[in-house]
Structure 1
């Protein structure tokens, strides 16, 4: 697959790294030679020091026969214009990153398609959706709904209250069990578990289950004492903070704190003021946080543009008794540090945007894919066809590559967990968890 990426910024470089694992034909374009130098020596791709808005550049990059053109520079006008040029030259699909939420109106989809822009990405929307999903379940670090919730994957930090520590998984995850452990993040290591593996305190365990068993999972991991989130404090009134406040369910109330007075006035025009209070102040000001009721707040969300500020603010909120904390950490170098400090959920909108685009490179029918930055792993939904290799044998006989496991499947709209003796059928939507392997190796089982 031939893929052209315009913009060697965080999204473009992260995406190039993800795609280069799968031996794709990648060209990365940027006007800054230094940005290109930071990535080209470490990954299998071609770089071009040129303007993505140039017709000559796109021709030289091979846009005439490219499968996918991805424009993720900070300039949305350049992104959209270069997509139009690439499409006119013959590129099959184009993707543009934008900064204006108004363009995401569903009724505008055909309009942009006719212009030559196949898909638009607004990272703030993706981040807000991720944050709100996490707020709905205060005891979960990460949640991923498969096929509209037919299956649920939950990333849960295990504490001393967990009932299933130090027992072999073969005794816990039997064919009739209502959950499977598909991965374990332990320190810096990601484990695709086998029957003899055990869960340990402070593991981040990934459970695959169905919606009706979520209360059961909550009980066995010892999280029943976590209160549901009703009051949320958001530090930072940027686009991500506003989108989070706008998309929260009706039973939640929020206080948005921002130190820019004119920005606060603008936020008041954008949110439902019956449920969202906007406060002009410094979210790092401890007396202000106490005065505004942080001790009775169930969730604290730090969304400023400064990763260090967000991390420290979440640590402070934790000390003040807030159970659920979320920090936006845009600097990839800080993600591991944030994890080691156990600050709660980490959101990186650039990684979310890259994951969203990532699925477009797969040529099998893949309806959803997500890169789990914390676990350095992919979770993907594949569709099994009539003659797919995956339908010819039971799961334990398939010979899946090391680092891959099947977590569940959706059949006729109903979610089912998978064991070694499961027979996958044509039409099944199969959820595969992959760590540190080429996704193309999994694709072959579904062709």
Structure 2
């Protein structure tokens, strides 16, 4: 697939690196030659210097021949204009990053479709939704629903108290009967393992489980951590993500939002009427303790500075806060943040990748989630008639070793997949796959 990316910032660079690694032809456009040099050194791509809202630049980038145009400039207006022009010049699909929730309202989205923009995405809104979802499942580090919740991916770190430690994984024997859940991956020592028979759980493992809706609560109990009800929470950072979280929860939870800017704190107080706004520097340990950090059920750090978020999250954990979530945009810091005990990491680049990646698939992908701290994705496919997956049982499919079929939804019926499971046309299939095998996995359902 030929893909043109407008914007060589952190998000554009991450997308270029990720997509070029999956065999796509990537061209990236930016005004800044230094930014282009940096991204050009990271991946095998073509760089074009110039303004992505200018016809001449877009023609130079050959957008008329591209299958997908992605606008991820810093300025929202530039993205809207660039995506519109690219579609008019011949791009088959055109998508744009936005920062305005109003654009996502159904009537307004129709206007952008008429302009030629196929899809709008707002990373901060999706990131905030993930945080809110996780606050409802406090014993997990990630939680993703598929097929309207009929199947879920539950991710948790094994606490020393977990009953799973030392036990063999189940779900590999055909004699086990109908399964309600199955472990599809384990992250251990910085490596993600697709488990095979005789694999045992170890303390500190991060475990990825596909579960039916009726088994989610049981799976969560295996973590060794008890779920908690969030009554008091603190948000550090009046960013777009912080505002979205506070706005969604302030009617049901006692929310304190801390921001270092006095002017911005006053503006936040006008917008978030039922949130207590505190003007303070989150790096000031004494001030955070005075504001009752140790009494919080949850702490969410979303300042936009990875270092500040990690340090304050560490403080919250040390003070006994039960659920700690931090936004970490520096990809190099993610493993560090997880290793020091931060419960959940939010990363807008991975959120964006999850939104965009499905547009690069030839198969009918209903959902895709790029997983934090793991070089893997979990995808939901709709199986096409006469596809390879419909012609044999799973064990005879010659499925890639670095991928595993977790579950199947067939109408109102839900199955956890085992070797003798048969897949039918139009089934919804949830697959866990290492990033390098995602393209090959799609072949089986196409």
Same fold (TM over 0.5): yes
2:148 aligns to what?
148
1:218 aligns to what?
220
2:30 aligns to what?
30
2:267 aligns to what?
266
CA contact (8 A) 1:175 1:418 kept: no
Structure 1: gaps of 5 or more residues: none
Cα distance in 1 for partners of 2:206, 2:433 equals: 16
Which range moved further: 3-12 or 102-111? 102-111
Cα distance in 2 for partners of 1:167, 1:313 equals: 35
Question: How far is 1:266 from its partner?
Answer: 1.7
Question: Is it true that 1:369 corresponds to 2:348 in the alignment?
Answer: no
1:238 aligns to what?
239
Question: How far is 1:249 from its partner?
Answer: 7.8
Which range moved further: 185-194 or 430-439? 430-439
1:89 aligns to what?
89
SS at the partner of 2:18?
Answer: helix
In the alignment, which of 187, 190, 199 is matched to residue 188 of structure 1?
Answer: 190
2:349 aligns to what?
350
The TM-score, its normalising length taken from structure 1, stands at: 0.95
Question: How far is 1:43 from its partner?
Answer: 2.3
Question: Is it true that 1:113 corresponds to 2:105 in the alignment?
Answer: no
Cα distance in 2 for partners of 1:270, 1:128 equals: 17
CA contact (8 A) 1:12 1:354 kept: no
Structure 2: gaps of 5 or more residues: none
Question: How far is 1:232 from its partner?
Answer: 1.2
Q: How do residues 331-346 of structure 1 correspond to structure 2 at under 5 angstroms? A: 331-346=330-345
SS at the partner of 1:183?
Answer: strand
Report how many aligned residue pairs link the two structures.
444
Q: How do residues 113-192 of structure 1 correspond to structure 2 at under 5 angstroms? A: 113-170=113-170, 174-192=176-194
Change in Cα spacing, 1:42 to 1:238, as seen in structure 2 (3 Å) is closer
Which range moved further: 83-92 or 214-223? 214-223
* CA deviation map 1:56-107 (0-9, x unaligned): 1211222113221101010111111111111111112111112222222222
SS at the partner of 2:444?
Answer: helix
Change in Cα spacing, 1:237 to 1:188, as seen in structure 2 (3 Å) is same
Cα distance in 1 for partners of 2:413, 2:373 equals: 29
Question: Is it true that 1:206 corresponds to 2:205 in the alignment?
Answer: no
